[in-house]
Structure 1
Amino acid sequence: MVSDHYVEGYRLLLGLNDSLQFLKTIPSNSIKLIVTSPPYNIGKVYEEKVKLNEYLDYQEEIAKECSRILKEDGNLAWEVGNFVYKKEIFPLDFFFYKIFKEDNGFKLRNRIIWRIEHGLHASLRFSGRYETILWFTKTDNYTFNLDPVRVPQKYPGKTYYKGEKRGKPSCNPLGKNPGDVWDIVLQDWEEQIWNIPNVKANHPEKTIHPAQFPIELVQRLILALTNEEDIVLDPFGGVGSSALGALLLNRKAISIDKEKEYIDITLERVKAMINGTLKIRKIGTKIYTPTGREKVSQIPKEWTNNENN
């Protein structure tokens, strides 16, 4: 099923279907950016857990369609975590690199680290606190806009100390390249990583989706890898975070999901965006740091009592 929606100048195409089947209906060489976070095959409510090789076979078919529909100067950003089987970790970015690079000819430009400060606590291994974004291009002629995602210089007053440029500023006045480990909290210069909170219970964007993509994260990819009016596609769209990120930046959006409930939520979120009531964590918002005065950040009395006994 395809639902084509026009809302006050915004163009949003929603597909209620299996991702692979829907991708086959999209014209070749028509999409500028494919950005998504596919199911990790870990048994979430929206996926049926299968053997790893079956999961990868399906993703291989997805990748072939992505290669077909992506423009020659297009980009693909694939955000993944780990598959876990019998308490063993299988890093999905390792498998997806082979799928996109070796099997479909994509070229890897960056392996971006996205740190997640909060999540499930492990007891048999170190708790996982990051996921990766594989940024691929279809060719060597690809869209990349650095200026919109620059961050302030650490030492803006630094100058050349010798040569013809001695005494002149040695850094770009628009800011520096954030690198492939990018800290969105600009005040924290020591940890240059993509430090964008994952969408948990107290996140302003939280819906019923158990693994929701933060709009702030996808917007940075959209700013760097597309131009205005380009088409951004998410083959595993969930509740529309990628679509919203695109629409907010004057891009066109296609979002695909097999769950009608998620498609309905996407439409409601788009309507909220239009009327100005959409709850969103804006780009560059400083991550909250507990001061010690909050109840949840204080040492429990039971702990201190035990120390005194």
Structure 2
Amino acid sequence: MAKIEVASDYGREARAVLFEGDCREILAQIPDGEMQLVVTSPPYNLGKPYERRVDLDKYLVQQAEVIRECVRTLKPSGSICWQVGNYVDKGEIVPLDTALYPIFKGLNLHLRNRIIWYFEHGLHCSRRFSGRYETILWFTKSDEYVFNLDEVRVPQKYAQKKYSKGPKLGQYSSNPLGKNPGDIWIIPNVKHNHIEKTIHPCQFPVELIERLVLALTNEGDWALDPFIGVATTAVAAILHDRRAAGTEIVHDYLGIGRNRVRLASEGRLRIRPMGRPIYDPNLSSGEQNLSAKVDAVTLRLFDSRALSYQPSSGEGDEKSL
């Protein structure tokens, strides 16, 4: 992959654009129907140093303004993915996805999935159960949208299982390309010991965005993140031959983001590979290695079967997913 230059203003010829300032300024530069994907994790209003705490009603008004502009930039076949957690006020939580849902529906978008991102680890609560997941609302602009399921299939649990009787006797009973990953995604969050960790307190793992980029865009398409932080969305896009645009108001984050994009374009950015097994502290190092080897064998089988796969005329119904 050739090194790319990171532009500071939007232009159709650019590969990556990272703009320092209010996201509404760069959104105004983007023509209607230009983006294939908008994916972001907006400030959650939880009182972190880089956020100005406002009340929930004002927060939703601000979000509505940005969402409206993002939708304007989407192609008819485009998708918008809004990743949020909970608003916490005096120990009581408000799930932000439910608060934001009416905004998207008011713009005539279609909710395709409410994805649960389960990250297993986090802060411990003393007066309620500890939060271990956040949500991704995936909306499309129309009923004719890009969805590349084969790009994000995961290995079957029983990849070698075959029919034991009937006309398909001896044939593999599962889809040789793998299975649909479903709407519960177990992906570690970026904590202090994560290989991708920077100074950002709420950093996306690259793997999370890679799955969305691969499924919802094609090569050469644009992915936009109006709250791009340290540019994880741009990294995921560049790694898979897409283009990326994003904005960030924190100067230090943007500097880190520019460097990460350059390193990604040169193949030198350290990231956690897609599909790597979750570390299990109950296993010894030898067992961890054995588990990784088993997964590698499964993936090789998965790949070899996929190479010879020819879809049947009935492929595509719910049972084959």
TM over 0.5: yes
Q: Which residue number in structure 2 is paired with residue 260 of structure 1?
A: 251
- Equivalents in 2 of 1:114, 1:224: separation in Å? 16
Query: What are the Cα deviations for residues 57-88 of structure 1, in whole angstroms up to 9, with x where unaligned?
Result: 01011111111110000011111100001111
Instruction: Provide closer, same or farther for how the CA distance between residues 217 and 257 of structure 1 changes in structure 2, counting only shifts above 3 A.
Output: same
Alignment partner of 1:243 is 2:229: no
Query: What are the Cα deviations for residues 81-112 of structure 1, in whole angstroms up to 9, with x where unaligned?
Result: 000011110000101211111x1111000111
Q: Which residue number in structure 2 is paired with residue 187 of structure 1?
A: none
**How much has 1:160 moved relative to structure 2?**
4.8
The one of 32, 41, 51 equivalent to 2:45 is 41
- Equivalents in 2 of 1:17, 1:196: separation in Å? 30
- Equivalents in 2 of 1:60, 1:10: separation in Å? 28
Alignment partner of 1:290 is 2:281: yes
Instruction: Provide closer, same or farther for how the CA distance between residues 142 and 5 of structure 1 changes in structure 2, counting only shifts above 3 A.
Output: closer
Of residues 238-247 and 145-154 in structure 1, the stretch that sits farther from structure 2 once superposed is: 145-154
Structure 1 counterpart of 2:255, which letter? Answer: D
Alignment partner of 1:271 is 2:271: no
The one of 184, 192, 198 equivalent to 1:207 is 198
Of residues 155-164 and 241-250 in structure 1, the stretch that sits farther from structure 2 once superposed is: 155-164
The one of 16, 19, 25 equivalent to 1:15 is 19
Alignment partner of 1:56 is 2:47: no
Alignment partner of 1:140 is 2:143: yes
Structure 2 counterpart of 1:145, which letter? Answer: N
Partner SS, residue 76 of structure 1: strand
- Structure 1 contact 63–104 (Cα < 8 Å) conserved: no
Percent identity (aligned): 55
- Equivalents in 2 of 1:161, 1:92: separation in Å? 48
- Equivalents in 2 of 1:10, 1:165: separation in Å? 51
- Structure 1 contact 26–69 (Cα < 8 Å) conserved: yes
Alignment partner of 1:180 is 2:189: no
Alignment partner of 1:115 is 2:118: yes
- Equivalents in 1 of 2:276, 2:159: separation in Å? 21
**How much has 1:201 moved relative to structure 2?**
0.5
Partner SS, residue 262 of structure 2: helix
**How much has 1:163 moved relative to structure 2?**
5.9
The one of 67, 70, 74 equivalent to 1:70 is 74
- Equivalents in 2 of 1:159, 1:268: separation in Å? 48
Q: In structure 1, list runs of 5 or more residues that go unmatched.
A: 182-193, 295-309
Structure 2 counterpart of 1:208, which letter? Answer: I
- Equivalents in 2 of 1:202, 1:10: separation in Å? 34
Q: In structure 2, list runs of 5 or more residues that go unmatched.
A: 1-6, 286-321
The one of 4, 8, 22 equivalent to 1:3 is 8
**How much has 1:272 moved relative to structure 2?**
2.2
**How much has 1:161 moved relative to structure 2?**
6.1
Of residues 161-170 and 212-221 in structure 1, the stretch that sits farther from structure 2 once superposed is: 161-170
- Equivalents in 1 of 2:258, 2:10: separation in Å? 9
Instruction: Provide closer, same or farther for how the CA distance between residues 10 and 65 of structure 1 changes in structure 2, counting only shifts above 3 A.
Output: closer
Partner SS, residue 112 of structure 1: strand
Structure 2 counterpart of 1:244, which letter? Answer: V
Of residues 279-288 and 198-207 in structure 1, the stretch that sits farther from structure 2 once superposed is: 279-288
Aligned residues: 278
TM value normalised by structure 2: 0.82
**How much has 1:164 moved relative to structure 2?**
4.7
Of residues 159-168 and 202-211 in structure 1, the stretch that sits farther from structure 2 once superposed is: 159-168
- Equivalents in 1 of 2:266, 2:147: separation in Å? 31
- Equivalents in 2 of 1:43, 1:214: separation in Å? 22
- Equivalents in 1 of 2:262, 2:177: separation in Å? 35
- Equivalents in 2 of 1:167, 1:129: separation in Å? 42
**How much has 1:25 moved relative to structure 2?**
2.0
- Equivalents in 2 of 1:123, 1:145: separation in Å? 42
Partner SS, residue 47 of structure 2: coil
The one of 78, 99, 103 equivalent to 2:103 is 99
- Structure 2 contact 83–135 (Cα < 8 Å) conserved: yes
Query: What are the Cα deviations for residues 264-298 of structure 1, in whole angstroms up to 9, with x where unaligned?
Result: 1111112222444312111111221114779xxxx
- Equivalents in 2 of 1:197, 1:59: separation in Å? 27
Alignment partner of 1:222 is 2:213: yes
Across the aligned residues of Structure 1 and Structure 2, the Cα RMSD in angstroms comes to 2.1
- Structure 2 contact 147–215 (Cα < 8 Å) conserved: yes
